[in-house]
């Protein structure tokens, strides 16, 4: 299972560099330095007493990562997946899923009202 951390989960904002020590990770941000716990869940604002080997992000790394992920997804996209996404409404995002849910509810209502009308006419 892959977990993604953001500012909402406690990750410090605006990370400029990172350093790795046994048992913890250090982040350098515009607001100061932060040290993680052993599970990388809690971040404490602190200052290191020794010089840390800071690793800075590469320029354009985020853009390259997004392009590579897009290429991987495109290479694994089959007609079956496209038709499945179209059928479920996911091809149109969250709104498409809700639209398909509404269509399913409408079809259920049509079936129930049709059954009621049929049973009334049969009497």
pTM of the model: 0.45
In a domain, 24, yes or no: yes
**How many domains is the chain partitioned into structurally?**
2
49 in any annotated domain:
yes
Residue 110 lies in a domain: yes
Domain of 29? 7-56
Per-residue pLDDT of the chain (123 residues; tens, 9 = 90+): 455 677 777 778 888 888 888 878 888 888 889 998 877 778 888 888 888 888 877 666 666 656 655 655 555 567 777 788 888 887 888 888 899 999 999 999 999 999 999 999 987
Residues 81 and 117 in one domain: yes
Sheet holding 32-36, edge to edge: 15-21, 24-29, 32-36, 43-45
Asked if residue 51 and residue 84 are part of one domain, the reply reads no
Residue written as tokens 């049929």? Answer: 118
Residue 46 resides in a domain: yes
| Same domain as 86, residue 51 | no
Residue 50 and residue 13 in one domain: yes
**93-122 vs 79-88: helix crossing angle, rounded to 10:** 60
């Amino acid at each position: 299972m892959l977990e993604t951390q953001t500012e909402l989960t406690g990750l410090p904002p605006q990370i400029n560099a990172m350093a790795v020590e046994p048992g913890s990770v250090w982040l350098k941000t515009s607001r100061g330095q932060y040290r993680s716990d052993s599970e990388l869940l809690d971040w404490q604002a602190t200052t290191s007493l020794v010089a840390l080997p800071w690793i800075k992000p590469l320029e354009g790394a985020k853009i390259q990562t997004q392009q590579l992920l897009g290429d991987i997804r495109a290479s694994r996209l089959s007609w079956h997946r496209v038709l499945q996404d179209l059928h479920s409404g996911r091809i149109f995002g969250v709104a498409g899923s809700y639209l398909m849910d509404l269509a399913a509810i409408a079809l259920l209502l049509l079936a129930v009202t049709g059954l009621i009308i049929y049973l009334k006419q049969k009497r």
